[in-house]
Amino acid sequence: MLSDRFDAVVFDLDGTLIDSEPDLRAALNLTLAGHGRAAVTRPQVIQMIGDGVPKLVERGFEATGGLPPAPFESLVTEFLGHYEGKAAALSTPFPGALEVLAALQGLGIRLGLRDRRLLRGRRRRRCAPRHQEAGRPAPGRGAGALEGCARARRHDRR
């Protein structure tokens, strides 16, 4: 039984439990529009997500004609100005995410969230997903909330 193997599960919020792409796309499109660029679509942004905000901004500009002459750091700052404070306006839970959390709670498993916005200003700890610890390839984005970016601590049942 799952509760015999784990006493806690920690989920990464963005891209595992929450579809934050709409908020990321809105901020990216506002940033791009400020430089006379065309808007990018959901499928495009989904392919751009990963490796953090600077990489998302870079990929957005590359997809719409290349980086402008403005200093790159100012583009990232501009994006963050559009994104921060509105980062949950359009985000929604992935289908089944709430049900998985409820099922885990029903088994008595403690739940935790890891999100970079919650960690701002605190010492950050890298939490390797279970599939990386086991040397297995990462599952696809959004695939299986339990396997996704979750890390669980095993019971010591000696």
Same domain, 136 and 115: yes
Same domain, 114 and 137: yes
More confident site: 5 or 103: 103
Tally of domains in the chain: 2
Q: What pLDDT score was predicted for residue 153?
A: 30
Same domain, 43 and 61: yes
Please compute Rg for the chain using Cα positions. 18
Q: Which residue, 37, 93, 88, is CA-closest to 60? A: 37
**What are the tens digits of pLDDT across the range 76-129?**
999 999 999 888 899 999 999 999 999 999 999 999 887 765 554 444 344 334
What is the pTM for the complete model shown? 0.69
Give residue 129's domain range: 2-19+92-154
Confidence of residue 16 (pLDDT cuts 50, 70, 90): confident
**What are the tens digits of pLDDT across the range 124-156?**
344 334 333 333 333 333 333 333 333 333 333
**What are the tens digits of pLDDT across the range 43-68?**
999 999 988 999 999 999 999 999 99
Same domain, 76 and 96: no
CATH number at residue 33: 1.10.150.240
Question: Catalytic residue positions?
Answer: 12
Same domain, 14 and 25: no
Same domain, 36 and 7: no
Phi, psi of 12 (to 5 degrees): -75, 135
* Domain endpoint, select from 83, 101, 122: 83
